[in-house]
Chain A
Amino acid sequence: MINNAWLIPVFPAIAFLIIVFLTRRVQLLSALVGIVAIGTSFIMSIGVLREVLVNGISMENPVEYAFTWLGIPGYLKIEAGVLIDPLTAVMLFVVTLVAFLVNIYSVGYMHGEPGFSSFFSYLALFGASMLGLILANNYFMIFFFWELVGLCSYLLIGFYYHKHSAARAGLKAFVTNRVADFGFMLGFFILFAIFGTFNFRELATAIPNYQDTAFLAIAATLVFVGPIGKSAQFPLHVWLPDAMEGPTPVSALIHAATMVAAGVYLLARAFVLFASLPTVMLIVAYVGGFTAFFAATIAITQSDIKRILAYSTLSQLGYMVMAMGVGSMTAGMFHLMTHAFFKALLFLGAGSIIHALEEQDIFRMGGIYKDMKVTVSTFIIASLALCGVPPLAGFWSKDEILAGALNHGFTGLYVLGTVVAFLTSLYMFRLIFIAFFGKRRAGLHGHESPFTMTLPLLILAVLSIVSGFVGAPFVSHGFSSLVYYGEPHHVVPNYGVMGISVLVALAGIFVAWVLYGRPSDVPTKIKHRFPFIYNLLVNKYYIDEVYMWLFRRVILGVSYILNWHDRHVVDGIFDGVGRLTRASGHKLRYIQTGNLQTYALVIFSAVVIITLWIATPVFGGMLQ
């Protein structure tokens, strides 16, 4: 199975072509093709995971095969290849599983949409690109697929392209990611300039001899810019909340579970590069920690259900990046996996609610738990998992991150992470109490979603409960003995950290209940007591406004100057060259009289001059 692992991304790619060229007009057939393709990939991923476990393929002894895709012997070799280690296998499993469930869900959610077939073709293309990204064995290939997932993200955010805001959001995501990708590209080009290879394993052996050099630090920082964009870390996080303009299954698949986690995956893949540079690791850790806190504070004040979840995703991605930064690659990847399940579940649940109510503002919902029992109960399970209530998935992974931060001496980040855990349960249960319980708002008629939508919810709910156990401290040969950097290790339970984080999570839920669980005017009072903070949060720290200001003043100003320079200096030079040529030609054309005899005279004179020139030594000899 492992030797055929390269087929995993090929199936969705073929499905994409089939849908585009053959089954476009038959909607259900398109969906079927997409589901079958990603389902095959899912089964193969299970096979790969099984072989990795059975054959004892570890991080040190991965399976790698490649062919030279493009090469100039001695200068450049770009491979197309597959690298399979436990990290790859776990990611393959998570991505294909979530993608499979989202594909099934979309049949119900997108039912009756005009772009039904194109939606499934985009999903298939995304699946192919994302799986290619995971399997890539070198930077160049990962970058190639990195751009492709960015393209799919753009296409799917702007899926409702007739809506102005959706089109703009797609553009925003694309442009923001382009900024980050440029940094990433520069980073791995510097690596290529130093080491002469793009291959991860060759780099992994070469980098440790090159520690603590400025070039390597610059390269690592630039490579980190890629994840800042793709995993939406501060300050390039602005595109992710707007990306919620896309259809909800897309938000679940791309903008919560898989694509945005690609940045974290890249950090894990390139971990050897970062691990050799403590300064860069510090940057990574603090960017992640800050993003986690920053996004959680914004989430408290938002009222759109998908935006709350988007800021929650930002915050959780911040956790993962922070875990990478403090050096617990295992914890980061573990959280990536559990988060993929419960956050996909949250988004799909939100999609189910939006599908039933056609309403996204939580303040216009309320009391819908009676109508949508499956959706609401799975949503609450996912929320509990996200908040880190034991024994659900998020508890184990989040605790590992917090314990990792504490063990590696980042006490500040540990405290910050614990505060974020409190904020997380506060905003999640604020959402739940407002939207699901309390008084039913007038004019809403909730109904449970069809079977194709509730089935993925149930499966993901089970996974949100159990997936944490693979990395729990009491499991021997668990997650940490598979995916690690350096030495495989066993997680030592830190009961202090566990206790505190459980307390904090419950405290968050309690505060949410006090504020929103029953009729109360406390939230309004708080709002009026601290108008400055409230406005800051509701307006997302005015980051978008700052960027717009920067764009209008700085970028347009500089562009104006550059435009003038281009028009007058650069164009002036080239126009001048052209004018000079034309003018000189105009004058010189009189030399060409058209009179043959003149030409013959010129030719003869030239021959005489050349002869004299050659004969000069002879004359010199004669004169002496």
Chain B
Amino acid sequence: MITLNHYLALGGMLFCIGLYGALAKKNAIAILMGIELMLNAVNINLVAFNHYLEPSKVVGQVFAIFVIVVAAAEVAVGLALVLNIYRRRLESNVDDFNWLKW
């Protein structure tokens, strides 16, 4: 029997993995992937809560779809930035993205 707690545990694990990726990776693409993982962890939580607590309403699912849409847009912008930076500087390591610093 799969309960709400299983889904929450899965969501929590995915979030932590995503957080680690976003904070510890040096590659810009990997950071974007980490962020995507975190967003999807949240989506799992939203859908799970919806299913187990208020099955009659689809609020959580609608939220999840919103998040997916926003995430898609965010990734598109983020990838475009990274790609451009890579083309100009041959660089995808965020530690070297320092030319806007003081």
Chain A residues within CB distance 8 Å of chain B: 594-597, 600-601, 604
Contact = CB atoms under 8 A, between A and B. Distances in A.
11 contacts: A594-B101, A594-B102, A595-B94, A595-B95, A596-B94, A596-B97, A597-B22, A597-B94, A600-B23, A604-B19, A604-B23
A595 B101 CA distance: 9
B98 interface: yes
Interface string B74-102: 00000000000000000000110110011
A594 B94 CA distance: 11
A600 B95 contact: no
Contacts of B22: 597, 600
* A-B CB proximity, top 10 nearest: A594-B101, A597-B23, A601-B23, A594-B98, A600-B23, A596-B94, A600-B22, A604-B19, A595-B95, A597-B94
A596 B97 CA distance: 9
Residue with the highest number of chain A CB atoms closer than 10 Å, among B23, B97, B102:
B23
Given A594-B102, A597-B22, A597-B24, 14 more contacts: A594-B98, A594-B101, A595-B94, A595-B95, A596-B94, A596-B97, A597-B23, A597-B31, A597-B94, A600-B22, A600-B23, A601-B23, A604-B19, A604-B23
Which of A597, A600, A601, A604 has most B Cβ within 10 Å? Answer: A597
Q: For chain B, what secondary structure do more than half of its interface residues adopt (helix, strand, loop), or is it mixed?
A: helix
B17 to A, nearest CB: 14
Contacts of B97: 596
Nearest to A599: B23
Nearest to A589: B102
A600 B20 CA distance: 11
Contacts, number: 17
Contacts of A594: 98, 101-102
Q: Which secondary structure dominates chain A's binding surface?
A: helix
Interface string B23-49: 110000001000000000000000000
Interface residues of B, number: 11
Contacts of B31: 597
Contacts of B24: 597
B32 to A, nearest CB: 12
A600 B23 CA distance: 7
A609 to B, nearest CB: 15
A594 B98 CA distance: 7
A601 to B, nearest CB: 5
Nearest to A593: B101
A537 to B, nearest CB: 78
Contacts of B98: 594
Interface string B44-77: 0000000000000000000000000000000000
Contacts of B102: 594
A601 B31 CA distance: 13
A249 to B, nearest CB: 70
Nearest to B31: A597
B13 to A, nearest CB: 16
A95 B102 CA distance: 71
Contacts of B94: 595-597
A611 to B, nearest CB: 13
Contacts of B19: 604
A601 B34 CA distance: 13
A595 B26 CA distance: 11
Contacts of A596: 94, 97
A536 B40 CA distance: 104
Nearest to B98: A594
Nearest to B26: A597
Nearest to B19: A604
Nearest to A596: B94
Contacts of B23: 597, 600-601, 604
Nearest to B24: A597
A604 B22 CA distance: 11
Nearest to A594: B101
B85 to A, nearest CB: 13
A143 to B, nearest CB: 55
A597 B32 CA distance: 12
Nearest to B101: A594
B11 to A, nearest CB: 16
Contacts of A601: 23
B92 to A, nearest CB: 14
A310 to B, nearest CB: 71
A482 B95 CA distance: 95
B6 to A, nearest CB: 20
B93 to A, nearest CB: 12
B56 to A, nearest CB: 27
Contacts of A597: 22-24, 31, 94
A597 B26 CA distance: 9
Nearest to B95: A595
Nearest to A595: B95
B42 to A, nearest CB: 14
A604 B18 CA distance: 13
A504 to B, nearest CB: 91
A591 to B, nearest CB: 13
A600 B35 CA distance: 12
B31 to A, nearest CB: 8
A175 to B, nearest CB: 53
Nearest to A592: B102
A314 to B, nearest CB: 71
A283 to B, nearest CB: 69
Nearest to B97: A596
Contacts of B101: 594
B2 to A, nearest CB: 24
Contacts of A600: 22-23
A604 B24 CA distance: 13
A595 B24 CA distance: 11
B81 to A, nearest CB: 12
A61 B97 CA distance: 86
A596 B102 CA distance: 14
B37 to A, nearest CB: 14
B29 to A, nearest CB: 14
